[in-house]
């Protein structure tokens, strides 16, 4: 076990990772999958596990959790699931069981006084599971060094494990893989809402890629495989009630490559949900309440990404990148971009360049660490709020820059289902 991993597990890992049942440490597994579980059914668990190859010897770390503001119905749902798995929800904090020919390591954070603080939510649940996985990997209980992470609303592809361990980049400074995905609405009346939301997600990633951002990837917790060494470098998942996947990946991108897989997708059940304050469930609810979703739902103006592209083009120069060159190029940026960067405190970064005497690849690396996925999103929002208002779907499709970055023919207006399919295909081509 490396000193960095040892230090993480000693100082930053959750209590559950410090108190793993001795019984599990006498066994051997090839792979480990972390699944937070809140207000879910036994049928959902069975559906999740069904595609996993028994020969891949999976250990599934199931963190059954509830926030301390959960309703009595939500707690009852959790307790019913635990009881169905022959785990006493009142007294048992962790248990290793065999279920449907797979081994489950169950963590119970669903009974007082062990409920999860509401502000920590799914982030803490995912961190508990990933910390346990990390310890077992570095104890040699789990063979492969990847922490797989998904959710209870997912259906995994048959080659789920192979997509990662057989990837040529797996041994080469890769911090995380992100699986291809597709949403499947669980109700017919949510289909259009799901398509409109998927267009938003895929358009954002494609637009970042077109602009040259190194943060052009999906940030969904159910699609992840994280290298355990990289996981410890970023100190695990942040304990947040939403967005833990975004912030974790934002850090992981700074310690290694993030690779988007192009294999068979994970299918995610697009459903209304109040489990988290933002994400797929709340977004679908918001869209479905619009009087005319196809006309009323708005998307970022492509001009925002064109402005981003002008900024990032500074770092594509073949010349030796120096502070003076950066300053000169910065002065030539459009006023709206410099205004946005001023709000992001670009002057602090300029001071950093001077103090560290950065140039060349080091200057570029430090810039992308400073101007990360979060600052990129803040810049887009500044441009949206102050210069380039969002557009309806029809107007978006008629915009020349959208046509350019998606290769959609001018004067073509696609239905949501057609456009979502085209954007998904475009993602896999690049």
Quick one: pLDDT at residue 14?
Answer: 96
Phi then psi for residue 274, to 5 deg, are -115, 20
Quick one: pLDDT at residue 278?
Answer: 55
In tens, the pLDDT along 298-351 reads: 999 999 999 999 999 999 876 778 888 888 999 999 999 999 999 999 999 999
Between 3 and 314, residue with greater pLDDT: 314
For residue 329, the surrounding DSSP H or E stretch is helix 323-331
Is beta strand 146-149 parallel, antiparallel or unpaired with respect to 298-299? Answer: unpaired
What is d(CA 25, CA 139) in angstroms, rounded to the nearest whole number? 8
Q: For tokens 């006023």, what's the residue?
A: 335
Three-state SS for 263? coil
DSSP string, 66-134: -BTT--HHHHHHHHHHHHHTT--TTT-SEEEEEETTEEEEEEEE-STTSPBPTTTHHHHHHHHHHHHHH
Sign of CA dihedral 180, 56, 51, 47: negative
What pTM was computed for the model?
0.94
């Amino acid at each position: 076990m490396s000193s960095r991993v040892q230090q993480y597990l000693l100082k930053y890992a959750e209590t559950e990772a410090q108190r793993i049942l001795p019984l599990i440490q006498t066994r051997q597994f090839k792979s480990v999958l972390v699944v937070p579980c809140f207000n879910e059914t036994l049928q959902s668990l069975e559906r999740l596990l069904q595609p996993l190859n028994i020969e891949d010897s999976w250990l599934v770390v199931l963190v059954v959790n509830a926030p301390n503001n959960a309703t009595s119905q939500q707690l009852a749902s959790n307790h019913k699931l635990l009881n169905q798995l022959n785990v006493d929800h009142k007294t048992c904090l962790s248990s290793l069981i065999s279920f449907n020919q797979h081994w489950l390591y169950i963590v119970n954070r669903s009974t007082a006084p062990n409920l999860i603080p509401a502000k920590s939510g799914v982030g803490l649940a995912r961190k508990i599971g990933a910390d346990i996985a990390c310890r077992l990997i570095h104890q040699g209980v789990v063979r492969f060094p990847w922490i797989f992470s998904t959710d209870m609303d997912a259906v995994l592809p048959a080659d789920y494990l192979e997509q990662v361990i057989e990837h040529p980049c797996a041994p080469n400074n890769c911090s995380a893989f992100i699986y291809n995905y597709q949403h499947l609405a669980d109700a017919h009346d949510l289909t259009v809402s799901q398509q409109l939301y998927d267009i938003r997600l895929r358009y954002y990633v494609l637009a970042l890629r077109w602009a040259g951002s190194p943060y052009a990837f999906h940030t969904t917790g159910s699609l992840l495989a994280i290298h355990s060494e990289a996981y410890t470098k970023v100190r695990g998942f942040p304990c947040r009630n939403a967005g833990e996947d975004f912030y974790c990946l934002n850090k992981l991108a700074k310690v290694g490559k993030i690779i988007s897989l192009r294999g068979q997708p994970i299918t995610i059940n697009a459903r209304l949900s109040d489990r988290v304050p933002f994400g797929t469930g709340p977004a679908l609810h918001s869209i479905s309440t619009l009087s005319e979703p196809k006309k009323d739902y708005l998307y970022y103006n492509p001009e925002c990404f064109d402005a981003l592209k002008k900024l990032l083009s500074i770092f594509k120069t073949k010349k030796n990148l120096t502070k003076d060159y950066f300053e000169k190029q910065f002065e030539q940026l459009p006023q709206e971009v410099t205004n946005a960067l001023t709000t992001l405190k670009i002057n602090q970064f300029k001071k950093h360049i001077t103090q560290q005497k950065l140039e060349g690849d080091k200057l570029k690396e430090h810039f992308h660490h400073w101007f990360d996925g979060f600052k990129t999103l803040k810049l887009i929002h500044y441009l949206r709020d102050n210069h380039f208002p969002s557009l309806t779907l029809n107007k978006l499709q008629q915009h020349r820059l959208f046509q350019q970055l998606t290769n959609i023919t001018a004067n073509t207006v696609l239905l949501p289902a057609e456009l979502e399919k085209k954007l998904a295909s475009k993602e896999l081509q690049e």
